[in-house]
Amino acid sequence: MKRYSAFAIAREALRGHKGWERAWASPEPRATYDVVIIGAGGHGLATAYYLGKNHGVKNVAILEKGWLGGGNTGRNTTIIRSNYLQDASAAIYEKSRSLYETLSQDLNYNVMFSPRGVMMLAQTEHEVRGYRRTAHANALQGVSTEFIGPQRVKELCPIICLDGPRYPVLGALWQPRGGTARHDAVAWGYARACSDMGMHVIQKCEVTGVRTEGGKVTGVTTTKGDIGCGKLGIVVAGHSGVVADMAGFRLPVESVALQALVSEPIKPCMDVVVMANTVHGYMSQSDKGEMVIGGGADGYNNYNQRGSFHHIEETVRALVETFPMISRLKMLRQWGGIVDMTGDRSPILSKTPVEGVFLNCGWGTGGFKAIPGSGWAMAELMAKGASPLAAEFGLERFREGRFIDESVAAGVAH
């Protein structure tokens, strides 16, 4: 596969851009692979990439029932941060954040990583205490964060209103090396790198059954025929419970829609990411000038991939208090993604009751930021049978009562 570079662009410009190759191949599935991964979103593709790069496992198929990156990877708000309270969470998210910093160079594909910084506003005294605690925990974990006062918040984000009618800004937890990346580019970059290693990215290939024999996986049944494998990775976000049921076991997860929207594009006015957990809204500005806005998940289980009026009203009403200038903007579009939530709001990276079947799910509303770290840990788990990054996130923790309760610790599940 040709390497992308400034020289390649100049060369193709002289040739009328007729020499570009497809970014990734579209092969027909073989009868068998060493590893099959269900789900060609960010987490599935990252798992395949690090299986090849770190462990030399390249006889891999990544199966996607729709189009590549058409699930949650293309339906999020692109926030990247690692300022979590619990040690296990901070470790895997910080690994992910650090991998994002060099991901464009590693993949030879511009994922548009923007380390613009992430602020989590403290708008109650309870949040002030909680974020100061998190800043101290982050210092012990080697994660660079700090608690800043209202004036520093205003310097970093001039459009913010510090004296809101209900919830004034009392400070913020600030992570300067957090930021955003282009969600589609992350999936495309990983897919291109996987294809370059000889892996098969197979789209429009829905898995309809998991085949086992003697308690061990032997393959999957798909809309393109039976495919054999020695190991199977289930990385399908909101549909994790459905695929696990095919394999014969149940999961402690529930699926709900998470909604977001963007405004019409405007001139640059905000070069940080701001999360306001008390009013439950968060916002950043995209490279195209749109204000990217998100809020909470639906309060009931569903598989919707669309927005609803009450969430627009709820989220925008909250954010208008903190950012009055957005009251004059028009909404451009909205969408929803299906997220899988565990009871402790922490992910599952684990072996399963079926030998050879591995599970990556339960990222809830914070999956995008974890893609590189999740793929790194999942690949190590599948190749070696264990991973230090994944050790605390096993399925057995729910039976043992050993929860990693980030919903309480972080104050928000994002």
pLDDT in tens, 25-46: 999 999 999 999 999 999 999 9
Closest-CA residue to 178 (of 295, 96, 256): 96
Q: Map out the domains of the chain with their CATH numbers.
A: 26-123+176-414 (3.50.50.60)
Q: How far is CA 17 from CA 8, 13, 20, 111, in A?
A: 10, 5, 6, 22
- The confidence score (pLDDT) of residue 411 equals 47
Spatial distance between the Cα atoms of 381 and 360, rounded to a whole number of angstroms: 10
Whether residue 48 contacts residue 229, with contact meaning beta carbons closer than 8 Å, is answered with no
The H or E element that residue 318 is part of is helix 309-322
For residue 328, give every residue at least 6 positions away whose Cβ sits within 8 Å of its Cβ, in sequence order, or none: none
- The confidence score (pLDDT) of residue 281 equals 87
Strand-pair category, 225-234 with 253-263: unpaired
Q: Which residues of the chain have pLDDT under 50?
A: 410-411, 413-414
- The confidence score (pLDDT) of residue 312 equals 82
Whether residue 354 contacts residue 217, with contact meaning beta carbons closer than 8 Å, is answered with yes
Whether residue 373 contacts residue 93, with contact meaning beta carbons closer than 8 Å, is answered with yes
Give 348: exposed, middle or buried? Use CB within 10 Å, 0-12, 13-18, 19+.
buried
- The confidence score (pLDDT) of residue 91 equals 97
Whether residue 182 contacts residue 111, with contact meaning beta carbons closer than 8 Å, is answered with yes
Spatial distance between the Cα atoms of 292 and 81, rounded to a whole number of angstroms: 16
- The confidence score (pLDDT) of residue 1 equals 80
Prediction pTM value? 0.95
> In the chain, how long is the greatest CA-to-CA distance?
64
Closest-CA residue to 88 (of 380, 382, 387): 387
| Token representation of residue 310 | 């009450």
Give 28: exposed, middle or buried? Use CB within 10 Å, 0-12, 13-18, 19+.
exposed
- The confidence score (pLDDT) of residue 216 equals 97
